[in-house]
């Protein structure tokens, strides 16, 4: 039975890298009929905040990612982490290192000066009991280090990257697994150790995470071995890159799922796009899909090794596709808060707003475009340059005047569009103005410009709130 997990650190809002990792884990769990679990890695006490945990959970829910068991809270498991460290100490696989920060700094300086990569030189690996006693008598505190054999060969078969091979010598020397503490205690356990202990306790079968964790995987595999724990299978998803091919960072403007939400992207489009950041659809499948659809076919052989470039055009295209397919009721629900914050109020008859959504939906890329595009239906727009020009065309005002007279004697309620068609034909016939000129002029009068959605529907919506006649009249002044 497949069991996967997302292990976010609540030190910031839901990051897009984390969201993409969440999507891959979720898709794999659903494809395999397994479980998707959460573990909140809140052991960094200073930087972890409950509001970030809330933001992360809420963001996952928003994306449509559900989890199968109550989230595990890492900080509640510190006893288990310390017990594992004690086991390593008892087995002689870990030891206390008393080297001070200054001493380590000097060591690194020397390494740098002779062009060596910085690493811990394992200087306290073989302390005699007398040496230890002397350090303790000085009142020195100690970190706990896990022994890493330089000659160790670490092999695993990565589901994305294939056969992987690391040498112990490339891991920077014996690894700190517990922070500095008095020598009779075990200090705060650190990331690589706690992840192994927790993944094993949660019976995780597959660890799916970003490529930036590859070196951690090598270290963690050594810990699995040392603790006698069953190793999971690993899959490392490619990094997310910006348009220039560098790792996506704060400088690219968006890093958090919140940013996309406030920019007006839909959860469906973001979830869809996160999936495409590294995974490609099987032949014959469209790139626009729901998470459920992707889960039916998801596999790691379609996850690329190369970094995934973030492509705004594709995201915008997807978002447009989602909005175009949205039922007007849903669109209305999404756009109403934006309209309200503009101070616009909707007519009591809800069918008006629904008809407006139906009209605008097919031309939206972002939800917030629904503000600009709906604006002329709430506030009478100024005439723009192309509108003014159009109304100066020969015959334009005569035709508009004809429409005004017709509407004054027999106002249109905006409901039966064949009546609008008939009024246009009559006006063209009676004034001799070409229908094309008449239609463009009507659009200019109603919307102030020549671009806009379907003319008859536009007119109908304005007629229903008795805003057509005043707009036509003002063009004649
Ligand atoms: N807390 C780690 C992170 O957010 C988890 C990495 C992992 O999946 O093991 O990067």
Tokens 């990565």 belong to which residue?
158
Tokens 């479980």 belong to which residue?
35
pTM (predicted TM-score): 0.89
pLDDT (tens digit per residue) in 21-66: 999 999 999 999 999 999 999 999 999 999 999 999 999 999 999 9
Q: What is the rounded average pLDDT for all residues in the chain?
A: 96
Task: Give the phi and the psi of residue 313 in degrees, each rounded to 5.
Answer: -60, -40
Instruction: Write out residues with Cβ below 6 Å of ligand 1.
Output: 7-9, 41, 195, 209, 213
Of the candidates 372, 264, 407, 385, the one whose C-alpha atom is nearest the C-alpha of residue 326 is 264
Of the candidates 104, 86, 106, the one whose C-alpha atom is nearest the C-alpha of residue 96 is 86
78-190, what's its fold?
3.90.800
Rounded to the nearest angstrom, the distance between the alpha carbon of 119 and the centre of ligand 1 is 23
Above 90 in pLDDT, residue 253?
no
SS3 content of the chain, % helix, strand, coil (to 5): 55, 15, 35
pLDDT at 439: 97
Above 90 in pLDDT, residue 254?
no
User: Hey, do 1-66+238-325 and 385-474 end up sharing a CATH topology, with the first three levels equal?
Assistant: no
pLDDT at 434: 96
Closest Cα to atom 5, ligand 1: which residue?
A: 7
Is residue 63 within 8 A of residue 15, CB to CB? The reply is no
> What is the C-alpha separation between 281 and 273, in angstroms, rounded?
12
Closest Cα to atom 10, ligand 1: which residue?
A: 8
pLDDT (tens digit per residue) in 388-447: 999 999 999 999 999 999 999 999 999 999 999 999 999 999 999 999 999 999 999 999
Instruction: Say yes or no: domain 1-66+238-325 is CATH 2.40.50.500.
Output: no
Of the candidates 219, 134, 212, the one whose C-alpha atom is nearest the C-alpha of residue 174 is 219
Rounded to the nearest angstrom, the distance between the alpha carbon of 6 and the centre of ligand 1 is 8
pLDDT (tens digit per residue) in 118-146: 999 999 999 999 999 999 999 999 999 99
User: Higher pLDDT residue, 86 or 253?
Assistant: 86
CATH code for the part of the protein at 326-378: 1.10.8.70
Q: What is the mean pLDDT of residues 170-186?
A: 97
- Per-domain boundaries in the chain: 1-66+238-325, 78-190, 326-378, 385-474
pLDDT at 255: 80
Alpha carbon 64 to chain centroid, angstroms: 12
Instruction: Say yes or no: domain 385-474 is CATH 1.10.10.350.
Output: yes
Atom of ligand 1 at shortest range from CA of 199: 9
Tokens 């899959």 belong to which residue?
235
Rounded to the nearest angstrom, the distance between the alpha carbon of 4 and the centre of ligand 1 is 13
Above 90 in pLDDT, residue 88?
yes
Above 90 in pLDDT, residue 264?
no
Of the candidates 151, 190, 188, the one whose C-alpha atom is nearest the C-alpha of residue 167 is 151
> What is the C-alpha separation between 400 and 186, in angstroms, rounded?
86
> What is the C-alpha separation between 312 and 308, in angstroms, rounded?
12
pLDDT at 251: 79
Percent over 70 (pLDDT), the chain: 100
pLDDT at 262: 84
The structure tokens listed for 451 are: 């671009």
pLDDT (tens digit per residue) in 2-16: 999 999 999 999 999
């Amino acid at each position: 039975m497949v069991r996967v997990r997302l292990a976010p650190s609540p030190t910031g809002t839901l990051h897009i890298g984390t969201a993409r990792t969440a999507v891959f884990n979720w898709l794999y769990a659903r494809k395999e009929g397994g479980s998707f679990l959460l573990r909140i890695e809140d052991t960094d006490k200073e930087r972890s905040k409950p509001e970030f945990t809330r933001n992360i959970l809420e963001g996952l829910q928003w994306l449509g990612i559900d989890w199968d068991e109550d989230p595990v809270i890492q900080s509640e498991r510190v006893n288990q982490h310390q017990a594992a460290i004690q086991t390593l100490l008892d087995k002689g696989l870990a030891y206390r290192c008393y080297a001070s920060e200054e001493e380590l700094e000097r060591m690194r300086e020397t390494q740098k000066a002779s062009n060596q990569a910085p690493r811990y030189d394992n200087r306290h690996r073989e302390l005699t009991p007398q040496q230890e006693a002397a350090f303790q008598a000085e009142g020195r505190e100690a970190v706990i280090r896990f022994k890493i054999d330089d000659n160790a060969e670490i092999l695993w078969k990565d589901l994305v990257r294939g056969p992987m091979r690391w040498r112990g010598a490339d891991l920077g020397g014996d690894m700190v697994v517990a922070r500095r503490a008095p020598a009779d205690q075990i200090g705060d356990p650190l990331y690589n150790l706690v992840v192994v202990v927790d993944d094993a306790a949660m019976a995780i079968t597959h660890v799916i995470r970003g490529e930036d964790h590859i070196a951690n995987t090598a270290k963690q595999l050594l810990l699995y071995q040392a603790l006698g724990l069953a190793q999971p299978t690993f899959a490392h998803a490619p990094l997310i890159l910006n348009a220039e091919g560098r790792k996506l960072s704060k400088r690219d403007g968006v890093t958090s799922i919140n940013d996309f939400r406030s920019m007006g992207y839909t959860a469906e489009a973001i979830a869809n796009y996160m999936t495409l950041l590294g995974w490609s659809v099987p032949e014959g499948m469209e790139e626009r899909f729901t998470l459920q659809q992707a889960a039916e076919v998801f596999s790691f052989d379609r996850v690329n090794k190369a970094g995934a470039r973030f492509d705004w055009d594709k995201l915008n295209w997807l978002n447009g596709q989602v909005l175009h397919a949205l039922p007007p009721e849903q669109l209305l629900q999404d756009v109403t808060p934006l309209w309200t914050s503009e101070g616009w109020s909707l007519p009591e008859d809800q069918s008006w707003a629904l008809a407006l959504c139906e009209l605008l939906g097919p031309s939206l890329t972002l939800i917030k475009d629904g503000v600009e595009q709906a604006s002329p239906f709430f506030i009478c727009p100024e005439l723009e340059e192309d509108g003014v020009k159009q109304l100066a065309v020969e015959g334009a005002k005569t035709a508009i005047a004809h429409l005004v007279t017709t509407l004054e004697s027999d106002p249109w309620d905006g409901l039966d569009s064949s009546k609008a068609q008939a009024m246009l034909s009559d006006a063209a016939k009676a004034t001799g103005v070409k229908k094309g000129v008449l239609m463009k002029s009507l659009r200019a009068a109603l919307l102030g410009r020549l671009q806009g959605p379907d003319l008859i529907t536009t007119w109908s919506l304005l007629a229903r709130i008795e805003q057509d006649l005043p707009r036509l009249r003002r063009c004649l002044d």
